[in-house]
Amino acid sequence: MVRKVVTREEWETARKALAEKETAALQALHNLAAERRELPMVKIDKSYQFHGPEGSTLSLADLFGDKDQLIVYHFMFAPENERGCNGCAFVGEHIPDLRHLRSRNTSMVVVSRAPFDKIAAWKEKLGWTFPWYSSYGSDFNYDFGGTVKGGGGEMANLSVFYKRDGEVYQTYSIFPRGVEMLLGTYQLLDLTPLGRQDGPLGPAEFKLNYEYEADE
């Protein structure tokens, strides 16, 4: 990479010009978030079952816990596979301390189609603590874009739900490129001269956390 070398004064002028654009872009994102909050919502009339620890079976409403909002990340992990998608694992590494979300009346869970025993084994190997449930045998992933119907395979996406007066509503959904908003590593790399340095597989090229440990 070749970058122009300038004086400090020239650099400050260029930085300030870029900062003005960044401020405008940030304001545009704030405006977009406000529009997102005003989207209409659709009532969920269909029943879904999820499998969790100790043989538990939960409904979609159960995934909220005692909160009114629920974020679901659809993690690409098909029933026939022994481990999930590397790209989704990179997203998993960016899921924050969920106490922060719970303090704002929001729960977050991860859902995959793989049977729960496979999920539990891989989750333990990765050292993750966030709630991760199986929708095996349910239409949940198909109905909300986590699995493409007709054998199209798994797709990473995120769904948002709201619970009011005992009823559950879908308020938002976002698909693969939009999920990038969760990736703090990318936000940091975007600040650097070399950028993301992605190859054709994008986030799937990052190592799993235990693979880094094996190199140390």
Phi then psi for 40, rounded to 5 degrees? -70, 165
Query: What pLDDT is recorded for position 175?
Result: 79
Q: What is the pLDDT of residues 44-56, one digit of tens each?
A: 999 999 999 999 9
Structural domain of 60? 42-178
Is 184 part of any domain?
no
Is 214 part of any domain?
no
Is 204 part of any domain?
no
Is 28 part of any domain?
no
DSSP, res 58: E
Enter the tokens of residue 12: 């400050």
String of b and e for 139-166 (b: at least 16 CB within 10 Å)? ebbebbbbbeeeeeebebbbbbbbbeee
Residue 100 CB neighbour total at 10 angstroms: 10
Whether the predicted pLDDT of 2 surpasses 90:
no
Q: Is 155 helix (H, G, I), strand (E, B) or coil?
A: coil
Is 77 part of any domain?
yes
Q: What is the pLDDT of residues 71-93, one digit of tens each?
A: 999 999 999 999 999 999 999 99
Q: What is the pLDDT of residues 130-173, one digit of tens each?
A: 999 999 999 999 999 888 887 778 998 999 999 999 999 999 99
Whether the predicted pLDDT of 208 surpasses 60:
yes
Is 10 part of any domain?
no
Number of domains in the chain: 1
Q: What is the pLDDT of residues 62-71, one digit of tens each?
A: 999 999 999 9
Whether the predicted pLDDT of 43 surpasses 70:
yes
Chain centroid, CA 26 distance in Å: 21
- Please state, for a pLDDT cut of 90, what percent of the chain lies above it: 86
Q: Is 106 helix (H, G, I), strand (E, B) or coil?
A: strand
| CB contact at 8 A, 144 and 170 | yes
Q: Which residues contact 48 (CB under 8 A, 6 or more apart)?
A: 59, 60, 135, 138, 139, 140, 143
DSSP secondary structure letters along 67-90: -SEEEEEE----TT-SS--HHHHH
CA distance 182 to 91: 7
Is 82 part of any domain?
yes
Is 168 part of any domain?
yes
Q: What is the pLDDT of residues 93-115, one digit of tens each?
A: 999 999 999 999 999 999 999 99
Say which CATH number the domain at 110 has. 3.40.30.10
pTM of the complete model = 0.92
